[in-house]
């Protein structure tokens, strides 16, 4: 009998998630007002070490809200990696600003600071580094670069909750940073997002704008252009329960990352390699297949034996709405060769063995 499919991700909902959701239902607090909103925001603020965490309905609107409240708009340029999830780019365009693509680094696949420096112009309003797959960008260099040119820095931490740089949580290097709590994230609310900041005035503006720009003191009086980006109490209840177990979840994910590295050490694959100062959350264990290997055939082979994988992101400059003939050789190489392996915290030792055996067989099938 065929074994059960091993998905790329499966959320661990074994804590208080059910009890807290039922509390929302029993008390009828199911919309964007309720005790769990504040509890979840406080939990994220404590883990990341910031003064303010502002909950929103997903990670994409977190980015858009932050860009809008940093006054990014028409005529501005925002530098962003071309190798990223498309939301990082779309939200820039949604403000009316122009995304300016930059290449990645070959080791950790993060935004290349030298390429960023080359692309700064008088129109550059912000730099948007994206921490991918649990790794982190070189924020020491990027922060210095942004300060030198007096431009904003906004970190996209959607995939990096729990990741630190020199002991400091990602998101602490910029005026604002954003997180996603989609169903496949380290901490999930089903759909959800967060903007964090240490800037009191910015936090106040974020809270007002996410709620249709309504006055804090006068109901239905709307003082500024706003959006309906609020998180609901049920989602926050799930997130609150998840945050109660974030330490063991992160510990298990790092164990899984280490086990993959050990078991696949003899294969001709290249793992994403975070810099020494980065303690990765291990969100999705990702690697490059050898040059000349058909990545899609490897994935199909693994799917045939019940192991789901997924490709890494395609480059944004290859998308129809952002199509460009400019070359970004490192990013393009990663996008062509990269795959992500099952990485959820309840993955068993047997499952890990199945994944590694399937990858080894798939590469052997192609003569590697």
The phi, psi pair for 219, rounded to 5°, reads -65, 135
Task: Retrieve residue 314's tokens.
Answer: 């395609």
| Active site annotation includes 210 | no
Active-site hit among 125, 185, 210, 253: 185
**Do the beta carbons of residue 302 and residue 362 sit within 8 Å?**
yes
Task: Retrieve residue 113's tokens.
Answer: 């600071």
**Do the beta carbons of residue 272 and residue 322 sit within 8 Å?**
no
Task: State the alpha helices, DSSP H only, in the chain.
Answer: 17-27, 35-48, 59-69, 87-94, 113-119, 139-149, 200-210, 233-243, 246-263, 295-304, 329-337, 349-365
Q: CA–CA separation, 210 vs 62, rounded Å?
A: 9
The β-bridge partners of 271 are 287
The phi, psi pair for 291, rounded to 5°, reads -55, 135
Q: Which amino acids are annotated catalytic?
A: 185
């Amino acid at each position: 009998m065929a074994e059960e499919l091993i998905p790329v991700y499966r959320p661990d909902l074994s804590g208080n998630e059910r009890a807290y959701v039922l509390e929302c239902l029993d008390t009828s607090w199911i919309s964007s007002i309720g005790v769990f909103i504040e509890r979840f925001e406080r939990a994220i603020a404590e883990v990341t070490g910031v003064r303010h965490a502002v909950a929103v309905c997903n990670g994409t609107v977190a980015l858009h809200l932050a860009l809008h409240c940093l006054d990014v708009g028409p005529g501005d340029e925002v530098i962003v990696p071309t190798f990223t999830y498309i939301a990082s780019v779309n939200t820039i365009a949604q403000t009316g600003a122009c995304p300016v693509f930059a290449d990645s680094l070959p080791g950790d696949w993060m935004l290349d600071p030298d390429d960023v420096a080359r692309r700064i112009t008088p129109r550059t309003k912000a730099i948007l580094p994206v921490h991918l797959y649990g790794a982190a960008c070189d924020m020491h260099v990027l922060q210095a670069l942004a300060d030198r040119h007096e431009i904003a820095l906004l970190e996209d931490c959607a995939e990096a909750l729990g990741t630190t740089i020199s002991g400091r949580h990602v998101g602490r290097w910029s005026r604002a940073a954003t997180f996603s709590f989609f169903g496949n994230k380290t901490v999930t609310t089903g759909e959800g997002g967060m903007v964090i900041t240490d800037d009191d005035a910015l936090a106040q503006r974020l809270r007002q704008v996410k709620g249709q720009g309504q006055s804090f003191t006068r109901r239905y009086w709307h003082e500024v252009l706003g959006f309906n980006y609020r998180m609901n109490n049920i989602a926050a209840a799930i997130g609150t329960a998840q945050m109660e177990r974030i330490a063991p979840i992160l510990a298990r994910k790092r164990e899984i990352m280490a086990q993959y590295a050990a078991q696949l050490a003899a294969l001709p694959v290249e793992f994403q390699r975070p810099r020494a100062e980065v303690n990765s959350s291990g969100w999705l264990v990702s690697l490059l297949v050898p040059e000349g290997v058909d990545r899609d055939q490897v994935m199909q082979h693994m799917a045939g034996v019940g192991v789901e994988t997924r490709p890494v992101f395609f480059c944004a400059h290859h998308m129809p709405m952002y199509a460009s003939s400019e070359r970004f050789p490192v990013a393009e190489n990663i996008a062509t060769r990269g795959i992500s392996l099952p990485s959820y915290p309840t993955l068993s030792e047997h499952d890990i063995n199945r994944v590694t055996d399937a990858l080894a067989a798939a590469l052997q099938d192609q003569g590697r």
